Amino acid sequence: MNLKQLEYFMRVAELGSFSKAAMMLDIAQPALSRQVRGLETELNQQLFLRNGRGVALTEAGRRLFDHSVGIMQMVAHAREDLGASRGAPVGRVTIGLPPSIGRQLTLPLIDRFKRELPDARLAIVEGLSSHIVEWVTTGRADVGLVYNPDAQSGIEITPLLQESLGLVSYVPPAERGRPAPPLPFKELANYPLIVPERVHAMRRLLETQAALAGVKLDIAWEVSSVPSIIELVCAGYGHAVLTASGVAASPRGAELSLRRLVSPEATSALCLAVSATKRPTPLAHYTMRLLTELARSLPG
């Protein structure tokens, strides 16, 4: 097995076609097929299923693809690390961000990279915190911001910001601008809530806090998208439990009030996540410092 075989295999898997991959790689299709067949022979596994529309990965192929992503990331990191002049950050870095954070940090991240690191390349991907942890673990992302991550051996977690949770409600125009008093946690049971599904870190945190406080939540609707939750709150379908940064990220934030939950106070931890097994490149180190700076400037 060699890196060229893995690269060829990944391109065929991504495009679902030997002919398309051959065109992208600028090699003859028979030569590409021989490389993949050689990989299958060495591994004694069939990697692709051929069909009338192209090819699809077998179960063994999917497992090899996951390994290949991490291997190629490590090779790229090694090249970037050794190619850096006097530790100058160069190369490519991929950042994973939750959607609410992405809407606030994407522009300042790109501004800083363009101004300070014109030779570096930045990719930003958005997803749930659980997905970002998986991406960092497998090497699909170099660094991520995640909410309330569980302890895992494959990642290192650094808490950056503790954000208070509050009840988010629609406010009629005539009542906007008035201060919103705190809300005792036990009174949360009196409000119909629009919440994400249980895979969402905020939902798990809210249910844990409610169980510890002996509060039975009134779950009216389950919606995965935070922007959609806010739209439903504004339409009068219920209330939400979010952080101040989550409300600030919405273009409709001025229409909402946030009553901080107290007695007990409920907080959400925003953390920096990096791989525990891979040595960060100079560019990754720079990105970690920049994310820490920007995240700590968010409204808490």
3-class DSSP state for residue 44? Answer: coil
Tens of pLDDT, residues 163-218: 889 999 999 998 888 888 999 999 999 999 999 888 787 888 889 889 988 999 99
- Neighbour-count burial of 100, counting CB atoms closer than 10 A to its CB (0-12 exposed, 13-18 middle, 19+ buried): buried
Q: What is the pLDDT of residue 83?
A: 58
Average pLDDT over residues 109-120: 88
Residue 88: band (very low, low, confident or very high) from pLDDT cuts 50, 70, 90: low
Q: What is the pLDDT of residue 219?
A: 93
pLDDT tops 70 at residue 96: yes
pTM of the shown model: 0.64
Average pLDDT over residues 113-142: 87
CATH of domain 162-268: 3.40.190.290
Tens of pLDDT, residues 2-36: 888 999 999 899 889 999 889 888 889 999 999 99
Report the share of the chain in percent with pLDDT over 90: 44
Q: What is the pLDDT of residue 300?
A: 58
Identify the architecture of domain 3-71 in CATH. Orthogonal Bundle (1.10)
Examine domains 3-71 and 162-268 and report if their fold is the same.
no
Q: What is the pLDDT of residue 76?
A: 72
CATH of domain 73-160+270-295: 3.40.190.10
pLDDT tops 60 at residue 271: yes
CA 126 to chain centre: 4
Q: What are the sequence ranges of the domains in the chain?
A: 3-71, 73-160+270-295, 162-268
- Neighbour-count burial of 171, counting CB atoms closer than 10 A to its CB (0-12 exposed, 13-18 middle, 19+ buried): middle
The owner of tokens 């028979």 is 30
Average pLDDT over residues 115-128: 87
pLDDT tops 80 at residue 131: yes
Average pLDDT over residues 148-155: 83
Which amino acid, one-letter code, is at 70?
Answer: G
Contact 273, 95 (CB under 8 A): no
Mean pLDDT of the residues in the chain: 87
Token digits of residue 125? 């991907």
